[in-house]
Amino acid sequence: MADTKREIERKYEATPETRLPDLTKVGGVSAVVDKGVAELDAVYYDTVDLRLAAAAITLRRRTGGDDEGWHLKLPVAPDVRDEIRAPLSDQLPRGLESLVRARTREAGLEPVVRLRSSRDIRHLVDADGALLAELSRDAVRAERLTDGGRTAAWDEIEVELGDDVDPGFLDAVDKKLRKAGLRPAPSPSKLARALAETAPKGAAPKKPVSRDEAPVPANAGDHILAYVREQVDALISYDPGVRRDLPDSVHQMRVATRRLRSAFRTFGKILDRTVTDPIGEELKWVAAELGVARDQEVLAERLRSRIDAVPRTLLLGPVRGRLRIWSTAHGAGSRRKAVATLDSKRYLGLLESLDALLADPPLLKAAAAPADAAIPKAVLKDYDRLAGRVELALGLPPGEDRDLAMHDARKAAKRARYAGEAATPALGKPAKRFAKRMKAVQTVLGDHQDSVVAREALRNLAIQAHAAGESAFTWGLLYGQEQASAADRERELPEVWREAADPDLRAALMA
């Protein structure tokens, strides 16, 4: 069974002669405890073309130390990684392999580097003996297991924050170490340094291109491709979170699929839709497969919140139990389905298609135009689409037809918002303001649609309660509250739309 540890650490350059300052002078540190020397032997795995390393992911099998076993490290933020551990075994654990499948796909994983470290360990503890941070002084020997087997050696110092310790503590340690002459390590990980220093002679070391190093967009096509690349990166980055059942991961992965689909449709004069439409259909499929779990989770939470707000005297019958049974029945197997989707050949084929699109983008003539000429036209076309749907919804009387019209308007508002967000790097503040107003419209329409969905669920719950001989009073009460909530949103919409439809907002996009 794999477990997870949030790893927050900083690395520093060192030599055998490097002397550490007195770290008991750091606020909160009562003592520095010598924990001895550990001999560590780690073999790192990757694809032949180093896909994991390019994404700052490390996968290793390590012996020695008190945490020997398989370790997968996924980046979270600068100096922060999630380390997922599995017991020591001869075979790569399938659970860890699945977490990197969006990167590796059909490519195999094989040993690429061996690192042997002699680790001198010291604990920085407080007055109660609680661990504040672990300081390790490593003498590292690296051996390339491919491409000729070159070797390298270096020393480094690593400071890893203790569990539940304020990350600001590392700033205080960092200040003390820098004052003593230590400098941050040039590579984010031992593996990155090993790959760079053991690369075959004459070969340029492979490394990921950071956003800061990416070329400055020169035209409309460059801007839209940068946005598409950002969403593809997000889609792949949230894949392990969905597999680990992390909060909000399904939602964020679905958002990436929607933004990609919207970009393909909105900027169809820039990216050829004969190429992007089939990919868009596959993105729609993934979002739908993942949505079973997410939509049920959101709906159940909404109904629970409604129940929590009802006075006890009005909770007639086993209301909470009925909702729990209903929620469990509707959510059963949804996570298994989500993971099966991510393991499917169809999903991996989609990722390959997205890679192919970015490698050889299907750019049309408008892609070569200046961004401030081609992009606003596409954004305003989405606005016109939204305007027609909102006006239709506002002209209908309350009822099912208006509900359907508002739902269609909500989808158009989301697309217009995404268009504004995609345009922001090129158009700046006008596009940002536009997206903000479109989001306000989407929020009102989204809340209305949530009420429509909730009312249908409450009706079904009332029917089930009645059939079981329970009181349906509370379900009817909640139904009425949702009906009132929908009416409130319908009254809000005209004013929110008036602000979003301000001509100056659109004129600024073309300025």
> pLDDT of 275-334, one tens digit each?
999 999 999 999 999 887 778 888 999 999 999 999 999 999 999 999 998 888 776 677
Q: Which of the four pLDDT bands, split at 50, 70 and 90, describes residue 2?
A: low
In eight-state DSSP terms, residue 68 is: -
The predicted structure's pLDDT at residue 340: 92
What percent of the chain is modeled with pLDDT above 70? 96
Is residue 323 one of the residues assigned to a domain? no
Is residue 205 one of the residues assigned to a domain? no
* Model confidence at 210: pLDDT above 90: no
The Cα-based distances of 371 to 133, 232, 359, 449, 500 in angstroms read: 49, 21, 21, 35, 23
Q: Which of the four pLDDT bands, split at 50, 70 and 90, describes residue 212?
A: very low
Sign of CA dihedral 52, 54, 57, 60: positive
Spatial contact of 254 and 260, defined as CB atoms under 8 Å apart: no
Is residue 385 one of the residues assigned to a domain? yes
* Model confidence at 148: pLDDT above 90: no
Distance CA 247, CA 264 (A): 28
154: β partners: 140
**Which amino acid type is present at position 393?**
A
The predicted structure's pLDDT at residue 332: 64
Residue 457 sits in the same domain as residue 481: yes
The predicted structure's pLDDT at residue 208: 42
Range 355-382 average pLDDT = 96
What percent of the chain is modeled with pLDDT above 90? 87
Q: Which of the four pLDDT bands, split at 50, 70 and 90, describes residue 154?
A: very high
Q: Which of the four pLDDT bands, split at 50, 70 and 90, describes residue 469?
A: very high
List of residues 6+ apart from 324 with CB closer than 8 A? none
Range 158-164 average pLDDT = 96
The predicted structure's pLDDT at residue 3: 86
CATH number where 345 lies: 1.20.120
Is residue 139 one of the residues assigned to a domain? yes
The predicted structure's pLDDT at residue 295: 84
Range 159-175 average pLDDT = 96
Please state the domain count of the chain: 3
Residue 192 sits in the same domain as residue 235: no
Round the average pLDDT of the chain to a whole number and report it.
Answer: 93
pLDDT, tens digit, for every residue of 46-66?
A: 999 999 999 999 999 999 998
Residue 86 sits in the same domain as residue 152: yes
Q: Which of the four pLDDT bands, split at 50, 70 and 90, describes residue 442?
A: very high
In this structure, the strands spanning 31-46 and 58-63 are: antiparallel
CATH number where 160 lies: 2.40.320.10
Range 76-97 average pLDDT = 94
Range 390-398 average pLDDT = 95
Q: Which of 405, 61, 36, 96 is nearest to 240 (CA)?
A: 96
In eight-state DSSP terms, residue 144 is: E
Q: Which of 47, 10, 194, 46 is nearest to 115 (CA)?
A: 194
Q: Which of 442, 415, 418 is nearest to 227 (CA)?
A: 418
The predicted structure's pLDDT at residue 1: 46
Residue 471: its H or E element: none
The predicted structure's pLDDT at residue 209: 40
Is residue 488 one of the residues assigned to a domain? yes
Residue 88 sits in the same domain as residue 105: yes
In this structure, of 73-82, 329-338, 408-417, the range with the lowest mean pLDDT score is 329-338
Residue 116 sits in the same domain as residue 260: no
List of residues 6+ apart from 77 with CB closer than 8 A? none
Range of the domain at 80: 3-197
**Which of 318, 348, 367 is where one domain is finished?**
367
Q: What would the two tokens of residue 495 be?
A: 């004013």
* Model confidence at 231: pLDDT above 60: yes
* Model confidence at 213: pLDDT above 60: no
Spatial contact of 404 and 459, defined as CB atoms under 8 Å apart: no
Q: What would the two tokens of residue 321 be?
A: 């139990």
The predicted structure's pLDDT at residue 298: 87
Residue 37: its H or E element: strand 31-46
Q: Where are the alpha helices (DSSP H) in 267-333?
A: 273-308, 319-331
Q: 465: buried, middle or exposed (CB in 10 Å: 19+, 13-18, 0-12)?
A: buried
Residue 232 sits in the same domain as residue 106: no
Residue 362 sits in the same domain as residue 268: yes
**Which of 197, 231, 262 is where one domain is finished?**
197
Spatial contact of 380 and 293, defined as CB atoms under 8 Å apart: no
pTM: 0.89
The predicted structure's pLDDT at residue 395: 95
The terminus-to-terminus CA distance of the chain in angstroms comes to 58
The predicted structure's pLDDT at residue 327: 86
Range 144-157 average pLDDT = 92
Residue 359 sits in the same domain as residue 400: no
Residue 64 sits in the same domain as residue 157: yes
**Which amino acid type is present at position 166?**
D
The predicted structure's pLDDT at residue 214: 61
The predicted structure's pLDDT at residue 204: 59
Residue 20 sits in the same domain as residue 134: yes
Residue 37 sits in the same domain as residue 115: yes
Residue 191 sits in the same domain as residue 290: no
Is residue 318 one of the residues assigned to a domain? no
